[in-house]
Amino acid sequence: VDSDDPFALLARDASGKVALNGTTTFPFTLVIPSSVASASASSSLNGAPVVCYGHGFFGDKKELEGAAPRAIMDHAGVVAIAIDWQGMSVDDISTVITDLGGDVSQTALLGDRVMQAMVNWAATTNAIKAGLFTSDPAFQRADGSPLVDGEAPLSYLGISEGHILGGVMNALNDDTEHVVLQVGGAGWTTIMFRARPFASFLGIMSIAMSDPLARPSTSRRATSRRCTRCAARARRCSASTCRRTR
């Protein structure tokens, strides 16, 4: 991208092709669970395998510090690392809201920063496989033995947004070998106007686009008739005295 701010777009040359634009840095969160930290060097000579964690809908890398992810990593005896999905993380919410409430056509440009996120993940996994985390004293035991095994097969766990974007990232990334994608739902063009997390954005969009015919479809799933007495779905109602809707 052409800068590090949330409004950044892909850097392009005079012909319009995507071009390199120097180098940048980005933060990460790495969790070493107690099951790994307390393991003796003799039982884990090369450290623990690494799992890359993809956060959810407009979240950030700090999700990895939550109770559920930490419990998973502790039980599995692995180290986990997470970075922000640039373009669709907490830092990008204000940009998306500004576009939705103004020039809605600009909203899709967040995809430019998502491409940068794919590159950032490639740099992260490459650093792991190259042994940068193994050699850093911050990721070693007191005796100098590594806590991170950069040579072990690299895995990925993506939740929600991390599922959807993670599918693309892992298709492009040669470093990851094992991939788990959880509760993704569907592609963005299908899910965003039918998913609860996007409801607040739709409200803002309705202000900028007052004509409902100009807005993307928000068709709802058809439902079966319900029993007027017990509110159960008619075909599942087991009460013999219940009246059914006509």
pLDDT at res. 46? 74
**pLDDT band (50, 70, 90) for residue 103:** low
51-67 pLDDT, tens digit each: 999 999 889 999 999 99
74-96 pLDDT, tens digit each: 999 999 999 999 988 998 888 77
Question: What percentage of the chain reaches a pLDDT higher than 70?
Answer: 72
Helix axis angle, 110-129 to 93-100, nearest 10°: 160
Residues 6+ away with beta carbon under 8 Å from 231: none
Question: What percentage of the chain reaches a pLDDT higher than 90?
Answer: 44
Residues 6+ away with beta carbon under 8 Å from 194: 218
pLDDT at res. 243? 47
Q: pTM, whole model, 2 decimals?
A: 0.75
121-149 pLDDT, tens digit each: 999 999 999 999 988 999 998 888 899 99
Q: For residues 61 and 28, is the Cβ–Cβ distance under 8 A?
A: yes
| Mean pLDDT, residues 172-177 taken together | 96
Q: Which position has the higher pLDDT, 29 or 217?
A: 29
Q: Which position has the higher pLDDT, 246 or 46?
A: 46
pLDDT at res. 210? 64
214-246 pLDDT, tens digit each: 555 544 443 444 555 555 444 455 555 554 443
Q: What is the 3-state secondary structure (H, E, C) of the chain?
A: CCCCCCCCCCCECCCCCECCCCCCCCCCEEECCHHHHCCCCCCCCCCECEEEEECCCCCCHHHHHCHHHHHHHHHHCCEEEECCCCCCCHHHHHHHHHHHCCCHHHHHHHHHHHHHHHHHHHHHHHHHHCCHHHHCHHHECCCCCECECCCCCEEEEEECHHHHHHHHHHHHCCCEEEEEEECCCCCHHHHCCCCHHHHHHHHHHHHHCCCHHHCCCCCCCCCCCEECCCCCEHHHCCCCCCCECC
**pLDDT band (50, 70, 90) for residue 120:** very high
**Interatomic CA distance for residues 109 and 111, integer angstroms:** 5
**Interatomic CA distance for residues 187 and 201, integer angstroms:** 17
**Interatomic CA distance for residues 59 and 65, integer angstroms:** 12
pLDDT at res. 208? 60
The chain-wide mean pLDDT, for the chain, equals 81
Q: Which two tokens stand for residue 200?
A: 């607040």
Residues 6+ away with beta carbon under 8 Å from 159: 53, 54, 55, 56, 63, 182, 183
